[in-house]
Structure 1
């Protein structure tokens, strides 16, 4: 897949999944990383997951760590395209 629908640093809206945007709440963020092999993107501040981490030298306390999980590219849309679509519906 040579052409990708989104680019690094682009403002996107999540359209499917647990953090999807509703008519009254638009959840948007910038793309921080793209994995072309798995066709996933990581969006800043969205799709937060928690993971239990065992104590180690790097993290002596262990505990629960929050991180931004990747989301499939088909579940995001550029903010400009989303705004145009919502304006068309209104």
Structure 2
């Protein structure tokens, strides 16, 4: 299996959908489903009835999974979306932003 180009903790830009153009940090990656959860993006509101555990009830807002194809890594230099390639530096495989050539990790 190929190495993932987007990892937990990365800063990403949403490319399409209702949150197009927004940026956020990756909270979870689900490679088998091809989904990703980004903090503060694609937030789903769930109305909760009052229960004994939660007597107040109310609205829970949580980020919902979205397709990994809808996001691109944010360039470390200017924050705009960029593609990612892998290079070997000092015997280590590192991710590099295609747009600026900046190393993303390591």
TM-score grouping bracket, smaller chain normalisation: 0.7 to 0.9
Q: Equivalent residue for 2:4? A: 4
Deviations 1:50-87 (CA, angstroms, capped at 9, x unpaired): 11112223322212211111111000000116163xxx
Change (3 A) 1:37 1:53: farther
Structure with a larger share of its residues in helix: 1
Structure 2 residues without counterparts, runs of 5 or longer = 83-98, 100-106
1:82 and 2:81 equivalent? Answer: yes
Compare relative contact order (CA 8 Å, sep 6+) and give the higher one, 1 or 2: 1
Greater Rg by CA = 2
Q: Equivalent residue for 1:66? A: 61
Q: Number of residue pairs matched?
A: 80
> For residues 57 and 12 of structure 1, what CA distance do their matches in structure 2 show?
39
Q: Equivalent residue for 2:17? A: 17
Structure 1 residues without counterparts, runs of 5 or longer = 22-26, 85-90
CA RMSD of aligned residues (A): 2.0
